[in-house]
Chain A
Amino acid sequence: MSALDQPATASNVVTGSAVVCRGVTKEFGSGDSVVRALRGIDVDVEFGELTLLVGPSGCGKTTLISIIAGLLDPTEGEVEMLGQDRRNLTGRKLVQFRAENIGFVFQQYNLLPSLTAAENVAVPLLVRGQERLPSIQKAVEMLDAVGLGDRANSMPSQLSGGQQQRVAIARSLVNQPRLLVCDEPTAALDAKSGRNVMGLLRDVALSSNRAVIVVTHDNRVYDFGDRIVSMSDGRVECVEERPSNPHS
């Protein structure tokens, strides 16, 4: 069993969908200058699947996953994350919920430049108050799982974009989160590295019964999705399920 497919711990076992959104809206600003980024979103994110969120620039993809990840409050509507009602998660409780259950992968990797790859991967463990040395040990195992075991002591600046993104994925997984949210993880990568990263994310979703949601512009990677949610102007336009995904 690789480090990627750690079974969920008992307390984390949730049946049903990973995320359920019903009638979610989000407005920025107020009065004349109000921006209606989301105009009533119904969407489900399932365990064991890789959900792709696609659509033109400005249609609200980032806003939606920020809400799904508990980084933003919806203006209206209901959000259920891993069986918990979003409205019950506030302040420190929300912060802790994020730390324990959600992994993040960003377009710009957001690695700390002064930490080695392994130290970067260990950050979420340190954030949860774990000891440094065992955390780094765990981080090295996780790097191994994403194929970067030999680069554990490299600094981010010494790694290629694809390698940095894999470090970021290792970091997002080190806590064994049940939900992984990724915003344009391949946008800064060449085609080959992009497919490599998407393949890795798909393995993560399938082999460990996690839910992975990926925002992307990149039609080269659409075939990695089990479910493709197309958005336009703050609404979900269509949802395409692909049960017979060629990559599975």
Chain B
Amino acid sequence: MNWLAWKMLTGDRAKYFGIVFGVAFGSLLIAQQSSIFVGLMRRTSSQILDVTEADVWVMDQRQQNVDEIRPMPDNRLYQVRGVEGVAWAVRLYKGLVRIRTDDGQFRQAILVGVDDSTFVGAPRQMKQGEHADLRRPDGIVVDEAGYRVLFPGQPVELGRTLDMNDRRAVVVGICDVTPPFQTFPVIYTRYSQATQFIPRERNTLSFILAKAEPGVDKDELSARIRHQTSLQAMSWDDFFWFNIRYYLENTGIPVNFGITVTLGFIVGAAIAGQTFYLFTLENLKQFGSLKAMGVDNLRLVGMILFQAMAVGLMGFGIGIGMAAGFFEAMEISGQADLRGMFVPWQVIAMTAAAVGMIVVVASLLSLRRVLVLEPAVVFK
């Protein structure tokens, strides 16, 4: 019977492609827009994602995200180090700097100052140079995409210089980073060096990164740090979500993408659902004659669900494939706006659920018509 269902479905090529196209287009819209949304949200936390050595992030009580820094006095570091269960704790500077390149252009960049001796927080993927090169006077490591922004059209090589706060900096390393939310270059340097690249401020300590002693639970340690220092402390993944939640709640991004994703759903549902429904209606007589020939309702339901599943699977596959291909093409073409974005499995699952809903609703609508069909209609 599935063979028959398949033949009926694919008999009219144009309609069949129409249905599959509808599902595919809907899937593409849903998957692609959700992926960009997820990608952007991840980007807001890219600097958190890129620091993997520490268990706990410690920051000022009032700080709400990873970008708007409220610096702490330096002595906080020693308070944190004094908390029981802390294996080590180091300083991290993060802020925006103004850069003047050799050709006199001004650019904004994200400056990250990592611990002078351990380099905790330094980029994991070095493409040229190594962490130890940060010890060299005025040494900085620049991310490759940022390098291209700072030195457009020039070969990616070490030794180039730029100015921050009227101080010369020398590129001693090139790295890869998770692309940040604002597509600024990311510059790494030692903490003590970073304080010289920025205008003098009373406090410069942005974050304290702490490691739990073996056997100490990081959530428990965070709670203990909060208690003893009246600072804000949370585990790496809590901070990741804390930061994302901030952006979800305080920007228009979710609403904008929510609208597009919903539109994708509606367009997909409208095209696929409608075509499928009309397809069944047009075949009502065929279903009627099958009924007369002794196909019972249960098997008709089976046939229609089979048809719905077939177009659903096919459209979904094509849609997800196109979404993945889109990001792949963006990656290859070096599109900085979408660099590092992909279709996460959660989005695939969500798209599958949406497509499932579309085809089930479409087939339920059609089913109703087929089930109440009197087999005697075949003589009409």
A128 to B1, CA, bound (A): 10
Answer yes or no: A132 CB below 8 A from chain B CBs: yes
Contacts of B290 in A (CB 8 A): 123, 127
Partner of A104, one of B12, B374, B378, B380: B378
Contacts of A113 in B (CB 8 A): 11-12
Answer yes or no: B227 CB below 8 A from chain A CBs: no
Tell me the chain B residues, 1-19 only, with Cβ under 8 Å from chain A: 1, 3-4, 7-8, 10-12
Answer yes or no: B296 CB below 8 A from chain A CBs: yes
Contacts of A72 in B (CB 8 A): 374, 376
A230 to B378, CA, bound (A): 23
Answer yes or no: A159 CB below 8 A from chain B CBs: no
Q: Which residue of B lies closest to A108 (CB)?
A: B285
Q: Which residue of A lies closest to B375 (CB)?
A: A71
A100 to B12, CA, bound (A): 30
Stretch at the interface among A8-16, A17-25, A91-99, A221-229: A91-99
A112 to B284, CA, bound (A): 11
Answer yes or no: B289 CB below 8 A from chain A CBs: yes
Given contacts A71-B378, A106-B289, contact A112 B7 (CB under 8 A): yes
Interface residue tally for chain B (C-beta within 8 Å): 25
A62 to B376, CA, bound (A): 9
Asked if B376 and A71 make an inter-chain contact with CB atoms under 8 angstroms apart, the answer reads yes
Q: Which residue of B lies closest to A98 (CB)?
A: B294
Contacts of B8 in A (CB 8 A): 112, 114
Partner of B11, one of A69, A98, A106, A112: A112
Closest-CB distance, B218 to chain A (whole angstroms):
61
Closest-CB distance, B10 to chain A (whole angstroms):
7
Closest-CB distance, A231 to chain B (whole angstroms):
15
Interface Cβ pair total, 8 Å cutoff: 74
Answer yes or no: B295 CB below 8 A from chain A CBs: yes
Asked if B376 and A110 make an inter-chain contact with CB atoms under 8 angstroms apart, the answer reads no
A202 to B97, CA, bound (A): 97
Given contacts A110-B285, A126-B4, A132-B3, contact A62 B379 (CB under 8 A): yes
Given contacts A71-B374, A104-B289, contact A124 B294 (CB under 8 A): yes
Q: Which residue of A lies closest to B299 (CB)?
A: A127
Answer yes or no: B293 CB below 8 A from chain A CBs: yes
A108 to B289, CA, bound (A): 11
Answer yes or no: B286 CB below 8 A from chain A CBs: yes
Q: Which residue of A lies closest to B6 (CB)?
A: A114
Asked if B289 and A126 make an inter-chain contact with CB atoms under 8 angstroms apart, the answer reads no
Tell me the chain A residues, 108-128 only, with Cβ under 8 Å from chain B: 108, 110, 112-115, 119, 123-124, 126-128
Given contacts A114-B12, A119-B7, contact A66 B376 (CB under 8 A): yes
Asked if A106 and B7 make an inter-chain contact with CB atoms under 8 angstroms apart, the answer reads no
Q: Which residue of B lies closest to A112 (CB)?
A: B286
Answer yes or no: B361 CB below 8 A from chain A CBs: no
A67 to B181, CA, bound (A): 72
Answer yes or no: B330 CB below 8 A from chain A CBs: no
Asked if A114 and B378 make an inter-chain contact with CB atoms under 8 angstroms apart, the answer reads no
Having A110-B285, A126-B3, one finds 11 other A-B pairs with CB under 8 Å, namely: A65-B379, A66-B379, A72-B376, A95-B295, A98-B292, A99-B293, A99-B295, A104-B289, A112-B11, A124-B294, A126-B1
Can you give 15 contacting A-B residue pairs, CB < 8 Å?
A72-B374, A95-B291, A95-B296, A98-B293, A100-B294, A104-B293, A110-B285, A112-B11, A114-B7, A114-B11, A114-B12, A115-B7, A115-B11, A126-B4, A127-B295
